[in-house]
Amino acid sequence: MALTLAQKITAAHSVVPADEEDAAPGRILNCRLDLVLANDITAPPAVKSFERMGADRVFDKRRVVLVMDHFVPQKDVASAEQIMLSRKFAAEQDLDCYFEGGDAGVEHALLPELGLVGPGDLVVGADSHTCTYGGIGAFATGMGSTDIAAAMALGESWFKVPESIRVSFSGRPGPHVGGKDLILWTIGEIGVDGARYKALEFDGPVIDAMPVEGRLTMANMAVEAGAKAGLFAADRSALEYCHKAGRTGDREIRPDPGAYYERHIRKDVTGMEPLVACPHLPENVKPVSELRDVTVNQVVIGSCTNGRIGDMRAAAEIFAGRRVKKGLRCIILPATPGVWKSALEEGLIAVFLDAGCIIGPPSCGPCLGGHLGILGAGERALATTNRNFRGRMGSLESEVYLANPRVAAATAITGVVTDPASL
């Protein structure tokens, strides 16, 4: 039987050798895990569950990763104590991969950058956007903290082999259209529950030509369509990205010709303009040209979706020689110390400062209404983040629009939702 990427990777990790019938969608597989992840919000309840179940040691101190990224620098006593608990557990377990302070960054940007995840891996994390790693050919998915506690102890977890939906992109995208626009189009097409407990598998000429960072952006938001995972073939570009991150021995991984897909969606992106997800769901997608009268109070460029160096470069291209609209807050959060350093060395930080932006630390910050940019009642933001549910970034009476970094920068300059082509 020809296998999809989801089938191929889960079957390869089955504790009991899996044949083609075992890999059929709907079958349950108990699988070995390559990596288990938690952060400063989700690690503490996982640690408490780990202790309650009587576990003494994690299954492999090299494969349990804790990243302090959501409320950092610690914004209050509660967040400080969350990190204290995580730090204590990491020390007791002698974890190789505990990231805090100047070593930390937004987890889903940090792990690929450090080469901790790669093609063919099976990864679970106590964060819904763990699916990001599908951008480099890993089957990665989010779980609750209790399941993560069991995974930390056992190094195994069970999976129902998901059905797969294939999404193919062809044509010639415009200069201001990228991965963020393609995933917004996908979510708008199938809805926030259109891929519930399914794998979204992306391919086509546009994907082949897309930088790996764009693929990571798309995989990151697969969960916004309800997907268990978002997957891309690990091609030469993915292997080069992983090699640069210090990995060796990775091999290309692709779906088999003739693999079965529950649905095949095709999109020619020729002529497509940048897209924006409007309040209060990521599926409420409209072309940027339809929103030119929407004013905003805040722009955020960063997060595990669009906080990588390519995103910083894209925003800086728009800001060069221009200023942020008076009275508008534009917050730039490079996603990792590595991104921050590269942005500094390339002169991007100077561009942002000259434009009047606020530059913050590598942190999730306002994405989840944490800190570093909370919205008040009646305020409106446009962000490169991944969710725009009511109250996501602060007040229940605020609004969040989602867009790519170029649209975000253009909007910061004009004060209204803006197509960068108009500048």
For 56-77, the pLDDT digits (tens) are 999 999 999 999 999 999 999 9
Asked if 216 and 303 touch (Cβ cutoff 8 Å), the reply is no
Total domains in the chain come to 2
Phi, psi of 268 (to 5 degrees): -95, 115
The pLDDT tens digits for 320-341 are 999 999 999 999 999 999 999 9
CB contact set of 112 (below 8 Å; sequence gap of 6+) = 132, 133, 135, 136, 216, 241, 242, 245
Looking at the fold, whether 413 and 283 belong to one and the same domain comes out as yes
- Domain termination residue (choose one: 267, 300, 318): 267
User: In this structure, are 250 and 395 located in the same domain?
Assistant: no
**Pair (251, 311) in one structural domain:** no
Are residues 116 and 235 both part of a single domain?
A: yes
Whether residues 292 and 398 share a domain: the answer is yes
Q: Which pLDDT belongs to residue 1?
A: 83
Q: The pTM is what? A: 0.95
pLDDT exceeds 90 at position 17: no
Averaged pLDDT score across all residues of the chain: 96
> For 120-137, what is the mean pLDDT?
98
pLDDT of residue 328: 98
- Residue 140 and residue 37 in one domain: yes
CA 140/CA 299 separation, integer angstroms: 29
Residue 66 to residue 57: CA distance in whole angstroms:
15
Give strand pairing partners of 166. 201, 264
Give the whole-angstrom CA distance, residue 36 versus residue 139. 12
Q: Exposure string (b/e) for 132-159, b if CB count within 10 Å is 16 or more? A: bbbbbbbbbbbbebbbbbbbbbbbebeb
How many Cβ atoms are within 10 Å of 390's Cβ, its own excluded? 13
pLDDT tens by residue, 333-385: 999 999 999 999 999 999 999 999 999 999 999 999 989 999 999 999 999 99
Query: Which element (helix H / strand E) includes 205?
Result: helix 205-209
Residues 164 and 73 in one domain: yes
Domain end, chosen from 267, 302, 327, is at: 267
CA distance 120 to 114: 17
The pLDDT tens digits of the residues spanning 36-56 come to: 999 999 999 999 999 999 999
* pLDDT band with cut points at 50, 70 and 90 for residue 190: very high
CA-CA distance, 214 to 402, in Å (whole number)?
Answer: 16
Q: Which of 251, 267, 283 is the last residue of a domain?
A: 267
Q: What is the CATH number of the domain that holds 287?
A: 3.30.499.10
What are the distances in angstroms from CA 61 to CA 45, 111, 339? 19, 16, 27
Residue 82 has a pLDDT of: 95
Q: Are residues 112 and 244 in the same domain?
A: yes
Model confidence at 20: pLDDT above 90? no
Do residues 18 and 129 share a domain?
A: yes
Tell me which residue range forms the domain holding 16. 5-267
Q: Which long-range contacts (CB under 8 A, 24 or more apart) does 81-88 make?
A: 82/40, 82/41, 82/43, 82/44, 83/40, 85/43, 85/44, 85/47, 86/38, 86/40, 86/43, 86/44, 86/47
Residues 144 and 219 in one domain: yes
- The answer to whether residues 28 and 108 belong to one domain is yes
Residue among 269, 239, 42 nearest 138 (CA): 239
pLDDT > 90: percent of the chain: 97
In this structure, what DSSP letter does residue 124 have? Answer: E
Q: What is the mean pLDDT of the segment spanning 87-92?
A: 98
Confidence of residue 21 (pLDDT cuts 50, 70, 90): confident
pLDDT one-digit tens code per residue, 220-260: 999 999 999 999 999 999 999 999 999 999 999 999 999 99
| 30 backbone dihedrals φ, ψ, rounded to 5° | -95, 120
Residue 193 pLDDT grade (very low, low, confident, very high; cuts 50, 70, 90): very high
Q: What six digits make up the tokens of 318? A: 């728009």
Instruction: Check whether residue 82 and residue 224 sit in a common domain.
Output: yes
